[in-house]
Every structure is written in structure tokens, then in C-alpha cells.
Amino acid sequence: MLRTMRDDFKKYSWTLWLVIIAFLLGFSFTDIFSGGNANETVLVQVGKKEINVETYQKQLFQVFDNYKNRMKENFNKDLIIQMRIPEQILQTLINSEIIQSEADKMHLRATNSELKNMIVNFPAFQKDGKFVGINEYKRYLAIYRTNAKDFESDLKKDIINDKLKEVITASMIMDNSILKKLYKKDKDSADVDYVKLDQDQNGKKFSASDQELQTYFENNKDSFMTPEKRNGKIVALKYEDFRKDLKITEKDYYDYFREKKEEFLVPEKTKISRLFLEYTESDRDDILKKIEEIKTGLNSENFETITKLNSTGPKKETGGDWGYTEWKSFTSQEQSIIKSLTQGEISDPVDTFKGFSILFAKEKSLETQEPYETAKPKIKNILDKAALKKLVTAKLDKLYRKIKGTKDLSALNNDNSVKVVETGFITNGAAIKEVEQFGYLSRQLFNMSGNDINYPVEFMDGIAIVQLTYICPI
């Protein structure tokens, strides 16, 4: 089974590079915005499972949007190449399907009881050592703009993934002789600073005849093909150009805030550090005495240092820092103590029946309502984006009706409110100057034939009408 999984990964590795080429250099794999059904447009088939264009495109747009919001003008095509974002997204989707396929063969399932158990024990949904309840659970997801269906679907995949790992690794044993060979191979390598080659001597040795060059060319003609180029016309309306037409008032923003207040709650935050000394039945009293002595010298300034020196439990290297959520896996007694601590307070030793712990509330704040002024930028982004999309769509709908009969975007040249852009001969995935830099619109031209007109074509900054006018023969 392991070999099969490795073969599957190898089989689809070429697909990942096609996606990079598709996004950056021009391989066309979708006409998602051309009126076709994206759900029926298969991007990759993994066994019998299909990854459709809509799934991939949705995740791609979401990731791009997140990066753009965070990085503003620093987010560009060069960064996408460097981070290999398209490849990573498809790799994740393919890996997920391969894992699911193997799990299906072994009839591995995530039951409702397993899902329920995972949710009620999820650290973020714990309060006082107990599950917060369905209403609080849904409200928490709403704060982070996640719906329960998608969240629970991801949890089921995690459960299945863990089961598959257990099955695969349960009987996985590596022979000592194999380990020795791998170690020897890794260590028995020579360090070479440089190798001197005689240019004249090697030039004679490795020179190729004209016939060899001609034969290589005949056998590898595909490597010397010039990329196909196409010409088109585009009317692209950008959201930002319509911002001046927005009619959203301060009252609209505030009304949204009042209606959706639960989405703008700041969750309670408690950051805990723990010093832990493990004990056995034979040394329990000695360990208790030791931790009580340690407690007398503890304060907020030296807690981290003393924990690094004395703790025998997890997180020793980080000074016992369990962050904002991981401590929710502690015993119910410890969590009860944590609830009673104020910020900066250190507890007395707590018996966990495996060891003694001292708890330090490094940070502590109750759940609060985010002030309107702080929430306003997020609200403004939500309402403005929806309104801008509505304005752009309305404008383009009118333009599209004008040329629907003529099938020629040139008919809009007389309309002073829009600009018909001639792309010139461009390759698939090329940026279109002053229109958009990520190649969505140029790729659209390579999904079309004849004098097709596609609308609407959505790109990062707006919506467009695209017409193919000429295909340059290769």
C-alpha cells in the first residue's frame, strides 16, 4: 500500500508543474467565467475522484485575497512565483484525495460519535474544562467567518487521516542494517571545493557533429516550439474606479455592526505557563517537598527561567509556555485553578496524579465586544466590496446587451465611459498592461475559439468582457 501511495504522488507531480505553467506561463485549464459549469470542468482526476476547477479556483481566489489584504501593493506575480502558491493549493487538494482514496479502500470512516467527541474536546471550545455548548460553538465559528458544515468536514478528514497514519505506521519497522547503510551513505561523502577542467581537451572530447545536432533537433522539436499567441479585445471595469459612486453611509456601517455584533466579539484570552514535576509512588513526598520549595522563590519575572531549570514536563524548553489554547488539555482541577487566577498570579502546587504543577496566568482577559471603531475597517471592506461588485456588474450588463447582437467589442468605442483595450499578440498567462498583472484575462483568451465573447470574467480587481479576435499560427 505504501508503494501504491508513493506511485500516486509521483503520478500527479507533473500535474502540479502544469498548474504552475498554467498560472504563470499560460496553460489554459478553465473557462469558469465563460458561462460553462465549473463543477463539470475537471482539473485533475485522482483515481476515480475528480478535483473540479471551481474547487481549485475558489481556494486560489481566497488565498490571493487574503494575501492582498495583508500585503497590499507588495503582493504581486513575482511573490506568487516565489511562494509557489498555485502548486501548493493543488498539492493539498491532491494529497487530500489520495489519502481519502486509500482510506476508502480500507473502509476507514469518521463516525458521528468520533466527530462529536473531537468537537467537544477541541481546546478552543472548552470553558472551565467543559464544552461551551452548541450556540457558543456556532458563534465562535461565526467570529472567524467559518461555517459549521465546512469546519466539521475538515475535522472528519483529520480523523480519517489519523486513522490511516495509525494503520500505515503500526507495523512499520526499519531494519538496523538499512539504517546503517543510510547513515554511511550520508556521512561518506567527499567535500569538493572545485574541479578544474581543461577547456580545449574537453571541447574536443564532447563536441557534437552537425548530424548529431540535426538528429537531436528532429527528436526534440517540441522543445523548440514558440508559444502560441493570441489577440483580443477587453473591456475591464475595476472596482476601485467605482468607489466614488458608493452610497454607503456611516449609518449603514453601524447598522451592520449592531445586527452582526456576535461576529465582532473578542474572545476571552488566557495565556498559561506551567512548571511540572513528575512523580512516582515511591518519590511523591520528596517531589512535593521540592516543588513547594521552588514555589517560595517563584515570581512573574523568573517563572520562565526556573521552569527551564527544574520542570520535567512538556514545554520545558519554552519555559513552560502553553499559549492561549493548549492548556485546555490540562486536568479539570488545573483548569478550575486557572479560572480563579488573575493576570500575573501564580498558583500553589496542584496534584495531577502524575505530577505536581504550578500554574502561572501570564495573560488573562475576558471576552469583550470589539468597539465599533475597531470593527469598522472590516465592516467597510465587507459592505464596500459587495456594493462595488453590484455597481460594476450593473454597468457591464448594459454594455454587454449593446454588443450581444453585433458580437464585436469595437461597437463600444463610441461610448466615452469605457475603454476597449487591444491586447496585442500575447501568450497564455501574460499580464495585460494597465488592466491586470496576474494573467486571468489573457488565459481566458486561450479558452475561446473564433470571435467568441465571454462575460462575465472575474479577476482580482474587477470584472471584464473578453473577446478573442485572432489566433496566431505557431
> Domain end: 169, 187, 210, which one?
169
- Of 120-129, 168-177, 382-391, the range with the lowest mean pLDDT is 168-177
Mean pLDDT of 327-346: 91
Do 112 and 28 have their domain in common? yes
Phi, psi at residue 252, to the nearest 5°? -60, -45
Give 271 or 128, the one with higher predicted confidence.
Answer: 271
Mean pLDDT of 353-377: 91
Mean pLDDT of 443-470: 89
> Domain end: 122, 151, 169, which one?
169
Residue 208 located in a structural domain: no
Mean pLDDT of 55-83: 72
Residue 415 located in a structural domain: yes
- Of 167-171, 299-303, 460-464, the range with the lowest mean pLDDT is 167-171
Question: Is the Cα dihedral 171, 177, 182, 186 positive or negative?
Answer: positive
Do 106 and 153 have their domain in common? yes
Give 11 or 244, the one with higher predicted confidence.
Answer: 244
Give the mean pLDDT of the chain. Answer: 79
Do 406 and 324 have their domain in common? no
What pLDDT shows up at residue 255? 95
What pLDDT shows up at residue 474? 65
What pLDDT shows up at residue 14? 45
H or E element at residue 360? strand 355-365
pLDDT, tens digit, 9 for 90 and up, residues 70-96:
666 677 777 777 677 887 888 878 877
pTM: 0.48
Range among 1-5, 201-205, 397-401 with highest mean pLDDT value: 397-401
Residue 69 located in a structural domain: yes
3-class secondary structure, 195:
coil
Residue 183 located in a structural domain: no
Do 56 and 143 have their domain in common? yes
How many distinct structural domains can be found in the chain? Answer: 3
What pLDDT shows up at residue 112? 82
Mean pLDDT of 134-140: 77
pLDDT tier for residue 194 given thresholds of 50, 70 and 90 = low
CATH number of the domain at 307, please. Answer: 3.10.50.40
Give 170 or 389, the one with higher predicted confidence.
Answer: 389
> Domain end: 122, 154, 169, which one?
169
Mean pLDDT of 318-326: 91
Residue 203 located in a structural domain: no
What pLDDT shows up at residue 195? 61
Do 154 and 65 have their domain in common? yes
What pLDDT shows up at residue 4? 42
pLDDT tier for residue 243 given thresholds of 50, 70 and 90 = very high
Do 280 and 255 have their domain in common? no
Do 353 and 386 have their domain in common? no
Do 280 and 331 have their domain in common? yes
Do 381 and 361 have their domain in common? no
What pLDDT shows up at residue 373? 94
Q: How many CA atoms lie within 13 A of 57 on its CB side?
A: 20
pLDDT, tens digit, 9 for 90 and up, residues 246-301:
999 999 999 999 999 888 888 888 999 999 999 998 999 999 999 999 999 999 99
Mean pLDDT of 329-352: 91
Residue 177 located in a structural domain: no
What pLDDT shows up at residue 169? 59
Domain that holds residue 291: 269-365
- Tell whether the model's pLDDT for residue 28 goes beyond 50: no
Residue 214 located in a structural domain: no
Do 15 and 141 have their domain in common? yes
> How far apart (Å, rounded) are the C-alpha atoms in residues 396 and 408?
15
Mean pLDDT of 133-144: 74
Mean pLDDT of 205-216: 78
> How far apart (Å, rounded) are the C-alpha atoms in residues 102 and 105?
5
pLDDT tier for residue 410 given thresholds of 50, 70 and 90 = confident
Mean pLDDT of 165-173: 59
Do 429 and 336 have their domain in common? no
Do 429 and 353 have their domain in common? no
- Tell whether the model's pLDDT for residue 320 goes beyond 80: yes
Cell 519497522 -> residue: 173
Query: What is each CA distance from 7 to 2, 47, 169, 174, 196, in whole angstroms?
Result: 9, 12, 18, 20, 40
- Of 1-10, 234-243, 373-382, the range with the lowest mean pLDDT is 1-10
CATH number of the domain at 138, please. Answer: 1.10.4030.10
Mean pLDDT of 210-237: 85
Mean pLDDT of 370-388: 93
Residue 25 located in a structural domain: yes
> How far apart (Å, rounded) are the C-alpha atoms in residues 79 and 72?
12
